[in-house]
Structure 1
Amino acid sequence: MMKTAMERIGIVGAGMTGATVSSLLRAECADSKLLVLDKGRGVGGRMSTSRCVEAKSSSVDLGAQYISITEAYREKHQRFHNELISAGVLKNLTCEIEGERNQDSSVTHHVAPEGVSSIVKHYLNQSGAELHTSQHVTRVDIKGDKVELMSDSGVSYQCDSVVLTMPVPQILQLQGSIAEILNSKPDVKRNLEDVSYSSRFAAGLFYNPSTNLNYSWAGKYITGNPCVRFVSIENKKRNLTDSELGPSVVVHTSVPFSLEHLEEDKNAIVPTILQHLRDVLPELPEPTEIKGHKWRFSQVHKAYVNSPGCVILNERPLIILAGDGFTHSNMDGCIESAISTTEAMLKVLASKSNI
């Protein structure tokens, strides 16, 4: 554990990167106050798990579906993987994913029985961070030796250091001093503007316990349909056997379909998704409840140049930009960014303590 000055560290984004950063910082800076803000009503970011309101059904993963670990990361991030597996947060994926593109036998696949957001919750719980959801940060200002985070509801938070983990286009939309700093660093700003993401719609379908979905697969990649790209039977994917919960299904659209309809409301596009789903799975029964979601920023298509893990935008006070936009879009990409961010922050904090 490194001895550093008492700090209030603000982390914007309660997704995988933000949660892992908060956990790593807690281990290294036990006395620091950690604050995590997220614009959503819950945590998880693109590792989002949604529950039904009325149907007594299992939850759905509207974002990441399962965790694939390459041989290189299995060695590099072994302590993270082992911890999640030991805690029961991750288990081996034992069901069939039909049409899986990655046939590399060295890649292992894992599933989160409680939904992928449970991975994020695991690290947030470890950190003991002060968490505020429904706080959409729209302004970042430097006030003396502090950084002020301002939400769209007018609530402000004073921090000594800040880590911004939201999608890069949202960083570029921030108002306040941060916009002036970006304009003063044209190379950094240009590299940020070059980061791009794919977009997707998702729909969660919930069924009552009496519903039976008889498919040999738990997940299926769809080809030949202009809308539907992936379908998962969530309870089967997670190997859940609770007879008191009904099945649930999640549908992800293709990137071309999503780009074509990107400016449409998520609920307005759900009937179109369901119509295409009936073409693919005509025997699928009508759900009791449906939830739609739009991922304007889904997977990173083009990352920040050279994938540095994070970028120090301002050193005093410290502002770090992080997230999968600085690596790549999967759990290990987020862990990689979190490690880089923590190392960069500890280096700056240590130098402050020595002044």
Structure 2
Amino acid sequence: MLIFIFNMTRVLLVGGGLTSAVTGAILRREVPQCQLILWDKAKGLGGRMSTSRAPHNAYCIADLGAQYISATPEYAQLHKSYYDDLVHDGVLVPLRCKLLGMKAMEEGTQHYVTPSGVSSIVKHFIAQAQTETKLNHHITSIQAQQGKWEVETQNGARDTFDVVVLTMPVPQLFGLSGTIQKIINSDRQLYEGLTSVEYSSRYALGLFYEEGTNLSLPEDAAAQYISNDPIMRFVAIDNIKRGVVLSRLKSQPNTGQPGPSVIFHTSVPFGKAHLDKTPEEVKGILEQKVKEMFPEWPQPKEIKCQKWRFSQVTSAFPGLPGCVVLDKGLIIGGDGFTHSNMDGCIESAKTVAEKVKECVDSLR
């Protein structure tokens, strides 16, 4: 009797954000023979689609990163299967609250929110991808090793893969050692293209309140863009923005009803001016500003300050290729190669998945 042993192609997705998640979902569907592994340096999935939970009540949450999803008519059609999937499963619902100061967008643009927090979009696609996920894995080195790629992390974990996909913000690529750095530095056009990618920076402040706290914004809005303040740019009563009415939630055993949550985003100039400071150093400034803006609000139960060193892409890789193949089996992608929103991440993921499939086919 003959026994055939097939070695599965091992694909490492580095980054727990939307591009990695969608890439994995596509590959699971179209290249099911791959073994998909995902490593991320954070403690939870989501990347810049981050949802934070209050320490005193895990059911009190706030989106510290992306606030809502806007699909233009073009992308609503181009990515219809993705949107239909998310709406069908209740991950996305239409944005129905009042949002003051939103800039005018193309007619027919559809806006969505996530009742369970924006990280639920990423988790939805990760579930479809069925990856072997490891968190707290901050990679430091990528080294060519006999036709494969050896990847090492900050805590000493090391493994070898056939394909490695990197979706972290582009400037972080320059902090990696090994063969990857030699590849980047040896190609002047590639080096200049990567160094031309730029991001805005900002801080987010999440306020978590106790059950029964009453909060309000002008004109009974759920969220508001602020145009005349040097520090704050956006504020939202997050649970209302997400369409969650707290009185309708069933209390969980031994937890009690969650209270409301509020999110503030700073202006880009403020983020740039305080880029070298820690969240703890900036937290006090932002707390004081909130008290000045809303003196009637009570003190929150918990406060979290988040620094987004790489917030939104302001200058993308020339030509918007979706991804770049550095070498056989080594691919870089993400919104730095398209544009900063959900559709940009999906476009990059589609391109990355195609390159991975080509590589897998060549290894058969």
For the criterion TM > 0.5, the same-fold answer is yes
- Cross-structure match for 1:292: 305
The whole-number CA distance in structure 1 between the counterparts of 2:101 and 2:207 is 21
State whether structure 2 residue 97 is matched by structure 1 residue 111.
no
**CA deviation after TM superposition for structure 1 residue 210, in Å:** 1.6
Alignment counterpart, residue 261 of structure 2, candidates 248, 259, 266: 248
Report the residue type matching 1:44 in the other structure.
G
- Cross-structure match for 2:344: 333
**CA deviation after TM superposition for structure 1 residue 275, in Å:** 1.6
**CA deviation after TM superposition for structure 1 residue 59, in Å:** 0.4
Q: Residue 301 of structure 1 aligns to a residue in which SS? A: strand
State whether structure 2 residue 319 is matched by structure 1 residue 306.
yes
- Cross-structure match for 1:343: 354
- Cross-structure match for 2:130: 128
Alignment counterpart, residue 30 of structure 2, candidates 12, 28, 35: 28
TM-score between the two structures when normalised by the length of structure 1 = 0.96
Contact residue 164 and residue 330 of structure 2 kept, 8 A: yes
Report the residue type matching 1:118 in the other structure.
S
Contact residue 58 and residue 234 of structure 1 kept, 8 A: no
**CA deviation after TM superposition for structure 1 residue 104, in Å:** 3.0
Structure 1 residue runs of 4 or more that deviate by more than 3 Å after TM superposition: none
Contact residue 291 and residue 297 of structure 2 kept, 8 A: yes
Alignment counterpart, residue 332 of structure 2, candidates 300, 318, 321: 321
Instruction: List aligned pairs for 1:1-355, cutoff 5 A.
Output: 6-55=8-57, 58-215=60-217, 216-243=220-247, 244-315=257-328, 318-353=329-364
The whole-number CA distance in structure 2 between the counterparts of 1:250 and 1:111 is 14
TM-score between the two structures when normalised by the length of structure 2 = 0.93
**CA deviation after TM superposition for structure 1 residue 110, in Å:** 0.1
The whole-number CA distance in structure 2 between the counterparts of 1:43 and 1:57 is 17
What do residues 167-222 of structure 1 show as CA deviations (whole Å, max 9, x unaligned)?
A: 00001211111001111211111100000000010010000112011330111001
**CA deviation after TM superposition for structure 1 residue 5, in Å:** 7.2
Contact residue 223 and residue 241 of structure 2 kept, 8 A: yes
Report the residue type matching 1:120 in the other structure.
V
Q: Residue 20 of structure 1 aligns to a residue in which SS? A: helix
Contact residue 113 and residue 243 of structure 2 kept, 8 A: no
What do residues 231-271 of structure 1 show as CA deviations (whole Å, max 9, x unaligned)?
A: 01011001112332210001100000011011111012111
What do residues 75-99 of structure 1 show as CA deviations (whole Å, max 9, x unaligned)?
A: 1100000000001000000001110
Contact residue 197 and residue 317 of structure 2 kept, 8 A: yes
Shift of the 163–56 alpha-carbon distance from structure 1 to 2, 3 Å rule, reads closer
Contact residue 246 and residue 260 of structure 2 kept, 8 A: no
Q: Residue 38 of structure 2 aligns to a residue in which SS? A: strand
Shift of the 252–72 alpha-carbon distance from structure 1 to 2, 3 Å rule, reads same
Contact residue 57 and residue 247 of structure 1 kept, 8 A: no
The whole-number CA distance in structure 2 between the counterparts of 1:209 and 1:240 is 14
Q: How well do the aligned residues superpose, as a CA RMSD in angstroms?
A: 1.3
The whole-number CA distance in structure 2 between the counterparts of 1:343 and 1:99 is 39
Report the residue type matching 1:14 in the other structure.
G
What do residues 266-317 of structure 1 show as CA deviations (whole Å, max 9, x unaligned)?
A: 01211101222223223222111001100000000100001100000101xx
The whole-number CA distance in structure 1 between the counterparts of 2:311 and 2:147 is 35
The whole-number CA distance in structure 1 between the counterparts of 2:225 and 2:202 is 15
Q: Which runs of 5+ in 1 are unaligned?
A: none
Q: Residue 262 of structure 2 aligns to a residue in which SS? A: strand
**CA deviation after TM superposition for structure 1 residue 346, in Å:** 1.1
The whole-number CA distance in structure 2 between the counterparts of 1:278 and 1:57 is 25
Report the residue type matching 1:112 in the other structure.
T
**CA deviation after TM superposition for structure 1 residue 56, in Å:** 6.8
**CA deviation after TM superposition for structure 1 residue 145, in Å:** 1.2
Contact residue 202 and residue 294 of structure 1 kept, 8 A: yes
**CA deviation after TM superposition for structure 1 residue 223, in Å:** 1.6
